[in-house]
Structure 1
Amino acid sequence: MLSYQHAFHAGNHADVIKHLSWIGVINALKKKDKPFTLFDTHAGAGAYDLTDEMSLKNKEFETGISRLLTKDSSTQDLPHLLADYLSLCEPFLAQQQYPGSPAISAKAKRDCDNLHLMELHPAEFDKLDKNLSRLRSLNTHVHKRDGYEGLRALTPPKPNRGAILIDPPYERLNEYSDLVKGVEQVFKRWQQAQIVVWYPLLSERAGAKSGASEAMCDQLAALGKPCFKAEICVAENTVDAGMYGSGVFVLNPPWQLDANLNHALESVIGMLGAGEAGFHATAHVSWINEDN
């Protein structure tokens, strides 16, 4: 149940789209002086050593974040959301690390903003606690608890501003339905919550999980909140492709996040270039429930 460790996948294409989206949400919240609260339900280790055995096993960062940093263009020439993401990552990468969403949140938020990081995996929690203590981020709280239980206990925040990142490992099929229930429960107490949900795109090789993300997105859309999804595909969706891409489903998105994310992803897919079998990455952003 608690076997997943994100270090095997740190810095891959899934992290790129997830962290671009999350930084976009945080940037929008920072436009007002009023403090806000961030929640991360499946925080992981917080930061990842790209030289350790797990990260080097598949070297997924080499087809993700590394490709975004080997181009000649400076961040000044990039869409501002992508430039913000790369600027935040660069100090970590200079130390052969990739920042997970907890580190990104801690560095992107202001001292007056609150951050709650929840992780149940014992080994990952210990790493998270150590990594976040090194960052010395004010008003950052690390919890060894179930993420959905944590949301029930800690929301709505005061003041009533903030966002939630949910990116479970989806090792078990029921994690998809658990996520929908968790989001439903949040909206019963906190209607204004901005929520970013990451999900994998899986081929038929995944068996019962194939199509589960799409069904989950339909259920999230049925909650009636303004929402859009953004997806990136790095391989052709053949029967044996496995995880051929991933996406984010954003509920109550801030103004212009869709446009900013689309602009950033257009640059990202060009920088990622061709992958396996010469497939060129694709990306698209599409509204599900328009924000009227």
Structure 2
Amino acid sequence: MLSYQHAFHAGNHADVIKHVCWIGVINALKKKDKPFTLFDSHAGAYCYDLNDAMSSKNKEYESGITRVNNTDASSSLLSDYLNLCSTFLAQERYPGSPVISAMTKRNNDSLHVMELHPAEFDKLNHNLNSLRVDACHVHKRDGFEGLRALTPPKPNRGAILIDPPYERASEYKDVVNGVTQVLKRWQQAQIVIWYPLLSARAGAKHGASEAMCDALAALDVPCFKAQVCVTPNTEDAGMYGSGVMVLNPPWQLDVQLDSALQEAVSHMGAHASSSLVWLRRDA
């Protein structure tokens, strides 16, 4: 949807779980010398000024990165995330997933980021190019169309981050259809899908994330879901948390992510909690 602006939500609890998980996937890919390719289907605007009108309107970062920043993280994955964020936070900015990908990948790895919103794309294109990181490609195109066109990569190693706004109820089915099409051509793709947890107040979208996860689990590839809740799931709670569904997860990511999220939620308030559940294990 071209009306969506991620700046309103930059650095919130959803970004914490999404970006911690994504760094874990990239770290695992880097354990082998062979290059890989990263895809970000809904990239957003590179990074976000926490003092601008959108980010400061609801100050959602106060429920997320602000809570965990400046902690002495014992989890190596949470520590990696906080170390990457620290330079940006010192300038009162928060890094989006394109920055995280570009700064975490190696010079011989490739990155493809896709964004359709005109204003977001212009910021993304200008700022990502200013990093002067090798093999970063910015596409003004629909993310699912881009994934169909650009996968599988050569060499056949890599991961996909899918992070739609879910403004339309149909976007949950779009995710399932998009992932199904990718897996037909790239069966071993490691795929991270972020999704919101919505209370009954969400109407038609209430329960849509859960149904999407069930449909993705039925694709018969190894997968788990991890979730963070920051407030009780009452009828009027709205978005009370969020999760990531990880298909073809790398070895030990579940252990590392579970540890990182348990530590993160310990700083997010009395009602915060995390969970990680395997939906289908590798036979």
> Shorter-chain TM-score category?
over 0.9
Aligned length in residues: 283
The question of 1:282 aligning with 2:278 is answered no
Aligned twin of 1:5: 5
Partner SS, residue 219 of structure 2: coil
Deviation per residue, 1:163-209 (Å, 9 max, x gap):
00001000001100011000000011000100000000000000000
Give yes or no for the alignment of 1:138 onto 2:129.
no
* Structure 2 Cα separation of the partners of residues 243 and 130 of structure 1: 32
Aligned to 1:187: 183
The equivalent residue for 1:87 is 83
What displacement does 1:139 show?
Answer: 0.3
Q: In structure 2, what residue type is equivalent to 1:238?
A: T
CA displacement at 1:291 relative to structure 2: 2.0
- CA positional deviation for 1:14: 0.2
- The aligned counterpart of 2:259 is 263
1:133, distance to aligned residue in structure 2 (A): 1.7
Post-superposition offset of 1:32? 0.2
Match of 1:110 in 2: 106
For 1:119, the equivalent position in structure 2 comes to: 115
Cα distance, 1:107 vs. partner? 0.3
The residue number in structure 2 matching 1:217 is: 213
1:1-292 equivalent positions in 2, closer than 5 A: 1-71=1-71, 73=72, 75=73, 78-274=74-270, 280-292=271-283
CA distance in 1 between partners of 2:276 and 2:223 (Å): 11
How far apart, in 2, do the equivalents of 1:226 and 1:196 lie? Answer: 12
TM-score by length of 1: 0.96
Contact 2:4 2:165 in 1 (8 A): yes
Cα distance in 2 for partners of 1:142, 1:3 equals 20
TM-fit CA distance, 1:128: 0.6
The 2-side partners of 1:95 and 1:54 are apart by 17
> SS in structure 2 opposite 1:164?
strand
RMSD across aligned C-alpha pairs, in angstroms? 0.8
- Looking at structure 1, the residues matched to 207 and 195 of structure 2 have their Cα atoms a distance apart, in angstroms, of 11
The 2-side partners of 1:40 and 1:127 are apart by 16
- Give how far 1:244 is off: 0.2
Moved over 6 A (4+): none
TM-score after normalising by structure 2: 0.99
**CA contact 2:169–2:204 (8 Å) conserved in 1:** yes
| Consecutive unaligned residues in structure 2, runs of 5 or more | none
Q: CA deviation at 1:273?
A: 2.2
Residues 10, 94 of structure 2: 8 Å contact kept: yes
Counterparts of 1:151 and 1:45, CA distance in 2:
19
Structure 1 unaligned residues grouped into runs of 5+: 275-279
CA–CA separation in structure 2 for the residues paired with 1:63 and 1:191: 36
AA matched with 1:88: L
**Per-residue CA shift, 1:44-93, capped at 9, x if unaligned?**
0010011101000000111210111144x3x4xx2100000000111111
The residue aligned with 1:277 is: none
The separation in 1 between residues aligned to 2:132 and 2:85, in whole angstroms, is 17
